[in-house]
Amino acid sequence: MKHIFILLLSIFMLTACRRHAAPEGILEEKQMVEVLTDLSVVDGYMATLLYSDTLRIQGKNYYATVYKNHNTSKAVFDKSMKYYSLQPVLLDSMYSKVSKRLEAKEKRLNKIYELEQRKKTLVK
C-alpha cells in the first residue's frame, strides 16, 4: 500500500511540474516573450514622439510589422494574451524574461553608442 501511494504521488508530481504546451491557436511561451519584447520596443519608441493622426497610423504599421516578423497576427496575440492573463504566475514570469531581454538590448545599444562616440573623438 505504501509503495502504491509513493508511486501515485510521484506520477502526480511529474505531471504537475511539467510545463504544458500552449493550446492550439495560442503562442508558445517563448514566442510570446519575443513578441512582448518587440512590442515593448515599439511602445517605447512611440512614447518619444508627439501624438498625431499620422503617428497613430504609423504605430499600427509598426505593430503589424512585429506580428509579421513573428509569423502571427494581432488576433492570435490578443487571444494568447487573454490565455496567459488567466495564469498570472506564468505571465509574471514571462514579463520578467521580457524585462531581462530589454535590459540586454539596452546594454548592447549603449556599448555601440559608446564605441561610436569614441570613434568621433578619435577622428577630431
Q: 124 pLDDT band (50/70/90 cuts)?
A: low
What pLDDT is stored for residue 122 in this prediction? 81
What pLDDT is stored for residue 62 in this prediction? 93
Residues in CB range of 30: below 8 A, 6 or more apart: none
Q: Is 95 exposed, middle or buried (0-12, 13-18, 19+ CB in 10 A)?
A: middle
Q: Which of 34, 35, 37 is nearest to 78 (CA)?
A: 35
Q: Taking the model in full, what pTM does it have?
A: 0.75
State pLDDT tens for residues 2-55. 555 454 445 555 444 445 677 889 999 999 999 999 999 999 988 888 777 777
User: For the packed helices 29-47 and 74-85, what is the interaxial angle rounded to 10 degrees?
Assistant: 110
What pLDDT is stored for residue 7 in this prediction? 45
What pLDDT is stored for residue 104 in this prediction? 96
What pLDDT is stored for residue 94 in this prediction? 97
State pLDDT tens for residues 68-120. 999 999 999 999 999 999 999 999 999 999 999 999 999 999 999 998 888 88
